[in-house]
């Protein structure tokens, strides 16, 4: 039986353990693979990573988690969108990137038509009811039988610490061995494979496959095997976050937003994530442009609280990816493998993807390890580049000039070549699915020097729209007024009002009756306290 040793018990380690146990061992009922997880009792988890995306549904389903139980135990709420405020100008304007969108017919020209219209209604509000459903704080699920048409796509906000604990308890009962100890040494054999890790009581844990989930420490993949990191900071400036919690015991803001808010500040942006018992807030910023104390003051101003009320934690990070996530018999998952700032909640997603890909490419013998690793690395690396481009786009389309940070971030030298090629292409035609079939654009030549090592796939990365398709790109492009001035000039004042799809109008009209306020759903279905200052609209109790 193959023995898998996972080092690290954060969200990455426990997601990997639970997923492999679900996918390969039939949730422990038919054991094909022996899984051991070693977790340090001394080194805390990063305990951040609270917003997810809908792909988490697949992971939880394979693990065998029941939604209500999961939500109760992890302080979870629903997330239907990300609301971006102050990204284009510093004027309180906003746009949504929701998870659901209507497909009007076989040919979707809604983007082009909207561009030619007066654009007096935000684009996403013309093609989906979800931004309005979010703005009126409704749950994506009803209290009784669902009679509101196609289901609304959603993900969760949750407590990262509770999530890892939940997966741990779940996995241990189903046969995963849990060792609480520090790994102090790693024995690597001549062929570059890890033979065993040494614990602080000097015992040795042998394995066939070692998964490095030690977070930014990257104990196995980097410290033992020396796999370098590809740095993304040329395109993404942020390198630290100041985080704080606001418990509802002291202040409940009347409702629980069913979406994440990402508000641009002077040198970065702040996340605002509501859970059942508290809000989590974090200012992601660049230490090259601001100092920690100024960033803290800005976070205080954002929240509107007094400085003494705010207990904060500073988290430093480095954006980029491991040049190879899988080297020899070691696979880095989670922060050990890479990290792109959490603007679109992709950290846990990358843990999920790596666990799914490992299950699909699982090496039952050592014979084809290199071939499986090559494919795994290509898929993971492509996805990191896809995330880099997409996040890069949120920043580079800004027209803010109020600080040096925003002036610099929109300069062409801070936009990836791939993204520049995409943006040029979308000046000729509106985004469609075909743009992701084979990304070779006129005038785009790949600079091979970024992957100059012989054992790394030399082909240019391909954005397969594995995570975001043209609809998501449109949400950001049109939210950021891409080509707006050009169309204003071309069509002058003789433009018609933006048209909302009738299906969307219908849904918006029905939503207040059909969908309960988010906090009322959480109260009724999960037993969340009915906070004293909760706003109860008429017709709901």
Q: Minimum CB separation from ligand FAD for residue 238, in Å?
A: 9
Among residues 82, 158, 220, 351, which is the contact residue for ligand FAD, using CB under 6 A?
Answer: 351
**Quick check: is 79 catalytic?**
yes
Strands 33-39 and 260-265: unpaired
299 binds ligand FAD (CB under 6 A): no
The yes or no reply on residue 522 touching ligand FAD (CB under 6 A) is no
Q: How far is CA 513 from CA 98, 506, 518, 537, in A?
A: 21, 12, 13, 10
In angstroms, rounded to a whole number, what is the distance separating the alpha carbons of residues 185 and 189?
A: 13
Regarding 345 and contact with ligand FAD (CB under 6 A), the answer is yes
**Interaction of residue 18 with ligand FAD, rule CB under 6 A:** no
For ligand FAD, the binding residues in 235-274 under the rule CB under 6 A are 241
Stretch that binds ligand FAD, among 25-33, 114-122, 341-349, 366-374 (CB under 6 A): 341-349
φ and ψ of 451, to 5 deg:
-130, 70
How many whole angstroms separate alpha carbon 208 and alpha carbon 224? 16
**CA nearest 289: which of 265, 309, 267?**
267
Candidates 335, 353, 372, 397: give the one binding ligand FAD (CB under 6 A): 335
CA distance linking residue 3 with residue 21, whole number of Å: 12
Please tell me whether residue 384 binds ligand FAD under the rule CB under 6 A.
no
Contacts with ligand FAD in 428-447 (CB under 6 A)? none
**Closest distance to ligand FAD from the beta carbon of 348 (Å):** 3
240, 317 in Cβ contact below 8 A? yes
Question: Which of 47, 525 has the CB closer to ligand FAD?
Answer: 47
Alpha-carbon span 318 to 10, nearest angstrom: 18
Q: How far is the CB of 309 from ligand FAD (least distance, A)?
A: 21
Please identify which of the residues 3, 31, 72, 79 carries the catalytic annotation. 79
> Least distance from C-beta 179 to ligand FAD, angstroms?
9
Q: Which long-range contacts (CB under 8 A, 24 or more apart) does 176-179 make?
A: 176/17, 176/18, 176/21, 176/28, 176/35, 176/36, 176/37, 177/34, 177/35, 177/36, 177/37, 178/9, 178/36, 178/37, 178/39, 179/36, 179/37, 179/38, 179/39, 179/205
In the bound state with ligand FAD, the residue whose beta carbon lies nearer, of 387 and 430, is 387
CB of 9: closest distance to ligand FAD in angstroms?
4
Q: Contact 344/54 with Cβ under 8 angstroms?
A: no
Helices (H) and strands (E) in the chain, counts: 16, 21
| Given 5, 19, 21, 45, the residue binding ligand FAD (CB under 6 A) | 45
Q: Which is nearer to ligand FAD, 46 or 396 (CB)?
A: 46
Minimum CB separation of residue 143 from ligand FAD in Å reads 28
Selected binder of ligand FAD within 28, 34, 43, 512 (CB under 6 A): 43
Per the listing, tokens 């993304």 go with 232
Query: Residue 414 and residue 392: Cα distance in Å, rounded?
Result: 8
Pick the piece of the chain touching ligand FAD (CB under 6 A) from 96-104, 113-121, 211-219, 533-541: 211-219
Number of residues that bind ligand FAD (CB under 6 A): 39
Out of 5, 183, 357, 388, point to the residue binding ligand FAD (CB under 6 A): 183
Cα 10–chain centre separation: 16
- Alpha carbon distance 431, 423 (integer Å): 9
Quick one: which of 237, 283, 317, 384 contacts ligand FAD (CB under 6 A)?
317
With H, G, I as helix, E, B as strand and everything else as coil, classify residue 266. Answer: coil
275 closest CA partner among 77, 469, 88, 29:
77
Beta strands in 333-490 (DSSP E): 338-339
- 334 touching ligand FAD, by CB under 6 A: yes
d(CA 285, CA 293): 12
Give the integer Cα–Cα distance in Å for 259 and 269: 16
**What's the min distance (Å) between Cβ of 246 and ligand FAD?**
16
Q: Alpha-carbon Rg of the chain, whole angstroms?
A: 24
Min dist CB 518 to ligand FAD, Å, is 18
Q: How far apart are CA 435 and CA 419, in angstroms?
A: 12
Residue 169 C-alpha from the chain's centroid: 24
4, 5, 6, 7: residue in contact with ligand FAD (rule CB under 6 A): 7
d(CA 485, CA 498): 16
Measured CA distances, 193 to 197, 225, 326, 330 (Å): 12, 9, 11, 7
Does residue 51 belong to the site contacting ligand FAD (CB under 6 A)? yes
**90-109: contacts with ligand FAD (CB under 6 A):** none
Q: Which stretch binds ligand FAD (CB under 6 A): 28-36, 62-70, 320-328, 340-348?
A: 340-348
Among 182, 233, 403, 410, binds ligand FAD (CB under 6 A): 182
Tokens 């038919």 appear where?
A: 30
Partners of 321 in beta bridges: 230, 338
Q: Which is nearer to ligand FAD, 5 or 132 (CB)?
A: 5
- By the rule CB under 6 A, 315 interacts with ligand FAD: yes
CB of 56 to ligand FAD, least distance (A): 9
Q: Is 354 in the site for ligand FAD (CB under 6 A)?
A: no
* Residues labelled as active-site residues: 79
Residues that bind ligand FAD (CB under 6 A): 7-13, 38-40, 43, 45-46, 48-52, 160, 182-183, 213-215, 217, 219, 241, 282, 315, 317, 334-336, 342, 345, 347-349, 351
């Amino acid at each position: 039986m193959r023995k898998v040793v996972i080092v690290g018990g954060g969200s990455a380690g426990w997601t990997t353990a639970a997923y492999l146990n679900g996918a390969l061992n039939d949730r422990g009922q038919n054991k094909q693979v022996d899984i051991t997880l070693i977790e340090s009792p001394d080194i805390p988890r990063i305990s951040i990573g609270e917003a997810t995306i809908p792909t988490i549904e697949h992971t939880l389903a394979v693990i065998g988690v029941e939604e209500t139980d999961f939500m109760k135990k992890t302080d979870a709420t629903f997330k239907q969108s990300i609301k971006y405020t102050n990204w284009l100008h510093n004027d309180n304007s906003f746009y949504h990137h929701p998870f659901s969108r209507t497909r009007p017919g076989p040919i979707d020209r809604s983007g082009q038509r909207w561009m030619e219209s007066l654009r007096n209604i935000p684009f996403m509000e013309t093609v989906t009811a979800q931004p309005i459903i979010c703005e009126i704080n409704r749950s994506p699920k009803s209290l009784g039988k669902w009679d509101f048409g196609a289901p609304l796509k959603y993900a969760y906000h949750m407590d990262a610490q509770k999530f890892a604990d939940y997966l741990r308890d779940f996995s241990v009962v189903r046969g995963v061995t849990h060792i609480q100890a520090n790994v102090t040494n790693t024995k690597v054999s001549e062929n570059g494979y890890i033979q065993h890790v040494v614990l602080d009581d000097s015992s040795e844990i042998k394995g066939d496959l070692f998964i490095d989930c030690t977070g930014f420490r990257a104990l196995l993949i980097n410290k033992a095997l020396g796999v370098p990191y590809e740095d993304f900071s040329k395109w993404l400036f942020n390198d630290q976050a100041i985080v704080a919690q606001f418990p509802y015991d002291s202040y409940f803001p009347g409702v629980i937003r069913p979406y994440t808010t990402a508000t641009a500040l002077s040198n970065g942006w702040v996340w605002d994530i509501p859970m059942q018992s508290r809000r989590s807030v974090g200012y992601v910023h660049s230490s090259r442009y601001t100092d920690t104390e100024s960033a803290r003051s800005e976070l205080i101003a954002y929240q509107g609280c007094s400085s003494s009320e705010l207990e904060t934690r500073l988290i430093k990070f480095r954006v980029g990816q491991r040049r190879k996530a899988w080297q020899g018999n070691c696979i880095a998952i989670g922060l050990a493998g890479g990290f792109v700032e959490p603007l679109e909640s992709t950290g846990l997603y990358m843990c999920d993807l790596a666990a799914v890909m490992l299950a699909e490419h699982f090496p039952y013998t050592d014979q084809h390890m290199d071939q499986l690793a090559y494919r795994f690395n290509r898929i993971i690396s492509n996805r990191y580049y896809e995330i880099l481009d997409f996040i890069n786009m949120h920043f580079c389309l800004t027209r803010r000039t109020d600080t040096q940070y925003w002036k610099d971030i929109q300069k062409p030298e801070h936009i990836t070549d791939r993204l520049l090629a995409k943006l040029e292409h979308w000046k000729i035609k509106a985004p469609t699915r075909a743009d992701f079939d084979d990304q070779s654009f006129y005038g785009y030549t790949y600079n091979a020097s970024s992957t100059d090592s012989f054992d790394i796939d030399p082909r240019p990365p391909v954005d397969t729209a594995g995570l975001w398709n043209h609809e998501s790109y449109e949400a950001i492009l049109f939210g950021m007024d891409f080509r707006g001035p050009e169309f204003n000039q071309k069509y002058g004042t003789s433009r018609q009002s933006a048209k909302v799809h009738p299906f969307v109008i219908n849904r918006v009209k029905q939503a207040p009756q059909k969908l309960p306020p988010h906090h009322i759903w959480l109260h009724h279905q999960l037993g969340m306290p009915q906070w004293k200052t909760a706003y109860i609209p008429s017709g709901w109790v």
